[in-house]
Amino acid sequence: NQRVLTGITTSGTPHLGNYVGAIKPAIEASRRSDTDAYLFLADYHALIKCEDPEQVARSSKEIAAAWLALGLDPAGSHFYRQSDIPEVAELCWILCCNTAKGLMNRAHAYKAAVQANDASNDDPDFGIKMGLFSYPILMAADILIFNAERVPVGRDQIQHVEMARDIAQRFNHHYEPLFTLPEAVVDDNVAVLQGLDGRKMSKSYNNTIPLFEGEKKLQKSINKIKTNLLEPGEPKDPDDSIVFQIWSAFADNEQRESMRQDFADGIAWGEAKKLLFKRINEELAPARERYQYLMDHPGELEDIMVAGAERVRPQASELLRQVRDAIGLRAYA
């Protein structure tokens, strides 16, 4: 069976972009009989973006509940919290010791941070953190510790998966070939979903539509989606419309073409948004109840996560045992 692995950083409320780009395709992959799916909550990664313990704890719970409410079967997959597998953190340190700093200098996320901040600032409240700098190495540890072959991600994460591959190659060459070389899988049909303002939908931009807000709030969010101001009679271009892009992510081919026709026929923005709300609501309403139930029963969620960790942790410790031996951390003999 092919081993597929992906994670979501638990630093905010799950949104439509996470659903379309990661949760939905990962759940579909986990249902295929030729696939072993490893799906996890990247809560060590969350610490890079968030130092508020309450928010870290809440977001982890929300994202766990979202996966399960949307149909992930924890018995038919491997579903766990990254921080329940401390072997990941140990492997991250080992990989830090044989990854060139120059490789990390090239990471997009770090380069963007350097553009926006003074990289020599030594104040922990303002300076760039080591966690951000080493973020791709932690992600490599996530992937390599379970010997994942395929890593389904959105476009923004491709570079990180390539770095994981470089790091694995260096280790395999210098020590022993213990790591599988991973490959990023990007679904061309799943574009980067735009947010309310037309930039990528992202927790960092505060432009998201949360997955599980109430019906009224969902409608309100959808009404806030930016639309182009047009002269009376000027045609609406579906390919230049956030409303149409989000519609496409939730529609089948027939629905997509029918909305294209509605645009050509001059549908009003208010009407298009009403249809969009109905479509999204129809898809999410059944999951919303289950989400609320899980959020109200954290003990059940906790049991699922603990069982998931118990299931995968022996694999992680076995690989780490081999890694320790390969690098010379051994019992005296």
**Which residues in this chain contact ligand TYM in the complex, by CB under 6 A?**
5-9, 17-18, 20-22, 42, 45, 139, 142-143, 151, 153-154, 156-157, 192-193, 200-202
Nearer to ligand TYM by C-beta: 27 or 262? Answer: 27
The answer for residues whose C-beta is within 8 angstroms of residue 319's C-beta and 6 or more apart is 87, 91, 145, 146, 147, 178
Query: What's the closest the beta carbon of residue 332 comes to ligand TYM, in angstroms?
Result: 35
202 is annotated as contributing to ligand binding: yes
CB under 8 Å to 193, separation ≥6 — which residues? Answer: 16, 17, 20, 21, 200, 201, 245, 246, 249
Partners of 15 in the β-ladder = 210
Helices (H) and strands (E) in the chain, counts: 14, 5
SS3 81: strand
Q: Is 324 exposed, middle or buried (0-12, 13-18, 19+ CB in 10 A)?
A: middle
CB-nearer residue toward ligand TYM: 18 or 304: 18
Question: Which CB atom, from 37 or from 262, has the smaller least distance to ligand TYM?
Answer: 37
Cβ contact 91:168 at 8 Å: no
5 DSSP β-pair partners: 38
**Tokens at 245, concatenated:** 């892009």
Cα–Cα distance, 5 to 146 (Å, whole number): 8
> What is the nearest approach in angstroms of ligand TYM to the Cβ of residue 32?
18
With CB atoms as reference, the residue minimizing the distance to ligand TYM is 21
Q: In this complex, which beta carbon is closest to ligand TYM, that of residue 183 or of residue 296?
A: 183
156 annotated ligand binder = yes
Q: Which residues contact 80 (CB under 8 A, 6 or more apart)?
A: 38, 40, 41, 305, 308, 309, 311, 312
- Least CB distance to ligand TYM at residue 299 (A): 26
Smallest gap from residue 109 Cβ to ligand TYM (A): 9
Residue with the two structure tokens 């044989």: 98
- Whether 10 has a binding-site annotation, put simply, is yes
State yes or no: 18 annotated in a binding site: yes
**CB closer to ligand TYM out of 18 and 262:** 18
Would you say 17 is a known binding-site residue? yes
Residue number, 202 or 317, with CB nearest to ligand TYM: 202
**To the nearest whole angstrom, how small is the minimum distance from the Cβ of residue 266 to ligand TYM?**
29
Shortest CB 22 distance to ligand TYM, Å: 4
> Which residue positions form the known binding site for L-tryptophan?
142
> Which residue positions form the known binding site for ATP?
9-11, 17-18, 154-156, 193, 200-204
